[in-house]
A = this chain, B = another copy of it.
Amino acid sequence: MELDLNCDAGESFGVYRLGLDEEVMPLISSVNVACGFHAGDPRTMRRTVRLARRHGVAVGAHPSYPDLVGFGRRPLDATPEEVEDDVVFQVGALLGFCRAEGIRLNHVKPHGALYNAAADDAAVASAIARAVRAVDPDLFLVCLSGSAMVAAAETAGIQHVEEAFADRAYAPDGGLVSRRIPGAVIHDPGPVAERVAMMVTEKRIRAIDGTLIPLLAQTVCVHGDTPGSVEIVRAIRARLSQEGVAVRAFGPREAVP
C-alpha cells in the first residue's frame, strides 16, 4: 500500500521566513509551492524547488487569489476568467523554476480561500481545472475529497487525486468540520497518526459524532509550520511504516526528482 503526504511550503517572502521547510521536506512525498500571490517570491520559489529536488519530493503549484497581505485566506469575488488566468500565471511561473532545477511539475493544489471556493463552486473549480489543463494536461489536480473540484477535473479531462486532512475532524456527511467548532482540529500526534492509518487501511474515518464514514484519499495533507506539526508528520510516518504503507508521491515515477 502507498500514500502520498503533501505539505504547503515556500511560504516565506523576501526577508520574512515562514514554515519549517527544511525540517518537513524529508518527511513528505509532495510539496505545494506558493507562487507569489499569497506568499513566495522568485528567490523563495527557487530555494523551495531546489530543496524538494534534493529530497526527492514531487513538486506542485499552490496558486492563490492575489492577496499577499491577507495570505490568500480572504474570499475574493473574482470572475472565473480572472481565476483561470491567475492560475495559468502562477503555475507557469513555478514551471519555470521546475525547468530551471531540472524536475517535473507534478500537480496543482489551490490555496486557502481559492481552495475553499473551488470545493463549493463549480464555476471556480472548472476555471482552475481549465487552467491546469492548458498549461500541462498531464498535471494532477489535488481536490478536496468528494468536492466540486473532482467533477471539474473529470469534465476537463485531467487527472486528479482526492485529498484528506490528517488533523481535521469530519462531519457525518464527509465534510470538514468548521474550524470554529471545538474539536475541529486535532493536535495530538498519536490520534492523528491513528486516523491517517485508518484512512489508508480501511478507507474510512470516524466522524466527529463517532460514526464511521467512508473516506477515499490518495493524498493526505500535513503541515510544516510549527515544531508540533512536524512532530505530527513524524508520528504519521512511523505509524504508516508499522502498517507497511509506503509514503510515495502520486503520479509517474519520473515525477520524483
What does the 1/0 interface line of A32-46 toward B look like (CB < 8 Å)? 000010000111011
Residues in chain B near residue A136, CB distance under 8 A: 99
Residues in chain B near residue A75, CB distance under 8 A: 76-77
- Taken together, the copies of this chain in the complex come to 4
Residues in chain B near residue A36, CB distance under 8 A: 89
Residues in chain B near residue A113, CB distance under 8 A: 77
Per the bound structure, the CA–CA distance linking A71 and B66 in Å amounts to 13
Is B99 within 8 A of A42, CB to CB? no
Residues in chain B near residue A66, CB distance under 8 A: 67, 69
Q: Which of A46, A92, A135 has most B Cβ within 10 Å? A: A92
> A247 contacts the other chain (Cβ, under 8 Å)?
no
Q: Which residue of B lies closest to A86 (CB)?
A: B42
> Which of B67, B81, B89 meets A93, CB within 8 Å?
B89
On whether A99 and B69 interact (CB within 8 A), knowing A42-B85, A77-B75, A88-B42, the answer reads no
> A96 contacts the other chain (Cβ, under 8 Å)?
yes
Is B100 within 8 A of A46, CB to CB? no
Is B89 within 8 A of A14, CB to CB? no
> Which of B15, B17, B76, B135 meets A71, CB within 8 Å?
B15
Per the bound structure, the CA–CA distance linking A189 and B75 in Å amounts to 39
Task: Give the distance to chain B from A251, nearest Cβ to Cβ, in Å.
Answer: 19
> A78 contacts the other chain (Cβ, under 8 Å)?
yes
What does the 1/0 interface line of A69-108 toward B look like (CB < 8 Å)? 1110011111001100110111111111101100000000
Residues in chain B near residue A95, CB distance under 8 A: 92, 95-96
On whether A135 and B100 interact (CB within 8 A), knowing A15-B18, A76-B75, the answer reads yes
Per the bound structure, the CA–CA distance linking A64 and B45 in Å amounts to 18
**B-binding residues in A (CB < 8 A):** 13-18, 36, 41-43, 45-46, 66-71, 74-78, 81-82, 85-86, 88-97, 99-100, 113, 131, 134-136
A-B contact pairs, 5 of them (CB 8 A): A13-B16, A14-B70, A74-B76, A74-B77, A100-B134
What 7 A-B pairs have minimum CB-CB distances, sorted nearest first? Answer: A92-B96, A100-B134, A42-B85, A16-B16, A75-B77, A42-B89, A93-B93
